[in-house]
C-alpha cells in the first residue's frame, strides 16, 4: 500500500438527509493513494449514499468532500476521466461483442488503455469476439472491471464486486484488484457483504452503522477497538478446556510453564473480522 501524504479521498462531517431522516451522520474518512479500503455495514447503513456522493452522483446535505483534490459535487468532465465506477450490475445489450464494447468505451477517454492489453489484464483475450450474453458471471464481472479502468482511473469504486461468484472466480477477481492497487497504484474503494473478501482484499476496513462511521482500521485494529477476546483451547488430562482472553500470548506462556513443555492439543482462535463486525453492528439488525 502506498500511503501518500495527501489522501485521494478526504471527507469531513459528511451528512445526508432525506426529509426528516438522516442517512449519513457526520462521517469523517480519508483514503490514501494505492490503498484498498472496504466499506462495510448493514443494509440501510448509508454505504451506497456515501459512495454516490463521492462519485458526484448525489448532492450532500452538508460537510466537506474532496476526491482527487476536487469537490465531486462540482467536478468537471476532466475529473470524471480520473474516476472509474463498477456498479453491482450493468444493463447493457447482451449482443455487444466484448472487444467492440471496450473499443467503443475507449473512445470516450483522452488516454484510454489499449484494448488488447486491457483484455489480457482482465483475462478475457480469448473471449474478445464473444457476445456479452454468453459470458459466465465471473467473466462478466471481469468485463465490468475492464469498463471501469479503460480510461486509466486513479480511483476505482467497486460495488459488491463478487456477488454470486464461485470460489475460483472470486480468487481470480481478487488477484486482479490487488494487481491494480499494488502494481498500477490505483486506489480502490469497495463495498461488500462478504467479510472474508474484505479481510483478504482490504488494507483498511471502515464500518458504517446507522449512517455513522463506527470504526476504521485494519482487521486487527478493529478487533482491538471492539475489545474482542481470543479463545484458547487445550487438553488437561482427559478433559478439553478453554478460556477467553484479550492476551492469548500471556495465557499460552503461563500454560507452557504449567505443563513444563508442549501444551496438549493447543488451539488459539483469534477473533475474525466477522466476530468484530457482528459485535459492532449489534442492535442494528
With 0-12 CB in 10 A as exposed, 13-18 as middle and 19+ as buried, what is 109?
Answer: middle
C-alpha to C-alpha distance for 279 and 119, rounded to whole angstroms: 42
Q: What grid cell was written down for 139? A: 467473466
- 142: number of Cβ within 10 Å: 23
- The dihedral through the CA atoms of 228, 217, 191, 161 has a sign that is negative
pLDDT at 263: 93
Mean pLDDT, the chain, whole residue set: 88
C-alpha to C-alpha distance for 277 and 263, rounded to whole angstroms: 31
pLDDT at 3: 46
pLDDT per residue of the chain (285 residues) written in tens, 0 to 9: 444 457 999 999 999 999 888 999 999 999 999 999 999 988 888 998 999 999 999 999 999 999 999 999 999 989 999 999 987 766 667 889 999 999 999 999 999 999 999 999 888 999 999 999 999 888 888 898 899 999 999 999 998 887 767 788 788 888 888 998 999 899 999 998 888 888 889 999 999 988 999 889 988 888 777 777 889 999 988 899 999 988 889 999 999 999 999 999 999 988 777 777 777 777 555
How does DSSP assign 79-137, residue by residue? HHTTEEEE-S-----TTSBHHHHHHHHHTTSSSPPPHHHHHHHTT-GGGTTSBGGG--H
Sheet holding 21-31, edge to edge: 21-31, 9-18, 62-67
Pairing mode of beta strands 187-191, 155-159: parallel
Three-state DSSP class for 143?
helix
Q: Where are the beta strands (DSSP E) in 131-254?
A: 155-159, 187-191, 204-209, 212-217, 230-236, 239-245
Contacts of residue 95, Cβ cutoff 8 Å, sequence gap at least 6: 131, 132, 133
Q: The whole model's pTM is what? A: 0.80
- 46: number of Cβ within 10 Å: 24
C-alpha to C-alpha distance for 270 and 223, rounded to whole angstroms: 9
Residue boundaries of the structural domains of the chain: 1-82+153-217, 89-151, 228-280
1-82+153-217: which CATH number, 1.20.120.330, 3.40.50.2300, 3.40.50.300, 3.40.30.10?
3.40.50.300
Amino acid at each position: 500500500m502506498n500511503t501518500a501524504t495527501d489522501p485521494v479521498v478526504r471527507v469531513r462531517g459528511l451528512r445526508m438527509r432525506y426529509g426528516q431522516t438522516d442517512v449519513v451522520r457526520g462521517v469523517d474518512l480519508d483514503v490514501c493513494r494505492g490503498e484498498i479500503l472496504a466499506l462495510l455495514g448493514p443494509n440501510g447503513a448509508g454505504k451506497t449514499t456515501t459512495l454516490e456522493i463521492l462519485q458526484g452522483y448525489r448532492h450532500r446535505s452538508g460537510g466537506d468532500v474532496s476526491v482527487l483534490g476536487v469537490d465531486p459535487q462540482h467536478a468537471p468532465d476532466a475529473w470524471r476521466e480520473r474516476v472509474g465506477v463498477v456498479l453491482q450490475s450493468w444493463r447493457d445489450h447482451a449482443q455487444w461483442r466484448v472487444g467492440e464494447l471496450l473499443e467503443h468505451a475507449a473512445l470516450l477517454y483522452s488516454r484510454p488503455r489499449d484494448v488488447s492489453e486491457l483484455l489480457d489484464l482482465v483475462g478475457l483475450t480469448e473471449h474478445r469476439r464473444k457476445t456479452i450474453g454468453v459470458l459466465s458471471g465471473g467473466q462478466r464481472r471481469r468485463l465490468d472491471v475492464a469498463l471501469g479502468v479503460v480510461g486509466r482511473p486513479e480511483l476505482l469504486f467497486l460495488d459488491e464486486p463478487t456477488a454470486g461468484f464461485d470460489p475460483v472466480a472470486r480468487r481470480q477477481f481478487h488477484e486482479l484488484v490487488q494487481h491494480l492497487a499494488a502494481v498500477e497504484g490505483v486506489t480502490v474503494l469497495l463495498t461488500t457483504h462478504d467479510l472474508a473478501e474484505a479481510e483478504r482484499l482490504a488494507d483498511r476496513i471502515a464500518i458504517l452503522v446507522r449512517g455513522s462511521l463506527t470504526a476504521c482500521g485494519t482487521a486487527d485494529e478493529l478487533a482491538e477497538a471492539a475489545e474482542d477476546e481470543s479463545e484458547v483451547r487445550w487438553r488437561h488430562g482427559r478433559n478439553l478446556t478453554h478460556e477467553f482472553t484479550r492476551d492469548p500470548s500471556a495465557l499460552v506462556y503461563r500454560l507452557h510453564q504449567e505443563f513444563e513443555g508442549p501444551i496438549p492439543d493447543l488451539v488459539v482462535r483469534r477473533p475474525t473480522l466477522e466476530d468484530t463486525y457482528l459485535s459492532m453492528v449489534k442492535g442494528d439488525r
